[in-house]
Amino acid sequence: MYRLRGDVLDYNPDCVFIQYAINDAFSGFTEQQFKKNIKGIIEKINENANTDIILVTSDYIGDNADNRQVEGYYHQLSVLGEDYRISVALVHEYWKKKITDGIPFESLVQYDGVHPTEEGYRLMAEAVMKLFEINEKDHDV
């Protein structure tokens, strides 16, 4: 949070994306500590800027123990989205659907099985854009 002013707020953004990084689940922070940190970032932004905030989950990393651990952190973002009435781009769910529909998981991640390829980033962008499509429909007259 110490970099929020210089890296974000000083630019007077119209919209701020807060993305959960998968490695946060494995860096020693509990889900509650993670939630508290993200809550602090949201509150600092709300206190210092008139900007929209979008919470973003990361990619789906397969049906395995690591993904089950990550899901808890994704859930915390959803809770914060509800608490603060902030949109949440559920990238991991979008990826999972695309994989179920036939896109090979291996085409979406680099050799480490986590970091997205260009195609993976494209799907991330699509998942975020879905929020704008929904909001655009809500505001049609």
pLDDT tens digits, 14-46: 999 999 777 777 888 899 999 999 999 999 999
Output the pLDDT for position 106. 94
Q: How many domains does the chain have?
A: 1
* Angle, helices 91-100/65-84, rounded to nearest 10 degrees: 130
pTM (predicted TM-score) = 0.88
Handedness of CA 23, 73, 42, 59 (dihedral sign): positive
Output the pLDDT for position 141. 46
Mean of the per-residue pLDDT values of the chain: 90
* CATH number for the domain harbouring residue 97: 3.40.50.1110
For residue 27, give its domain range. Answer: 4-138
Main-chain phi, psi angles of 17, to 5 degrees: -100, 130
Least confident of 100-104, 110-114, 115-119, 121-125: 110-114
* Alpha-carbon distance values, 42 to 19, 27, 49, 110, 112 (Å): 12, 21, 10, 31, 31
Task: Decide if 39 contacts 80 (C-beta within 8 A).
Answer: yes
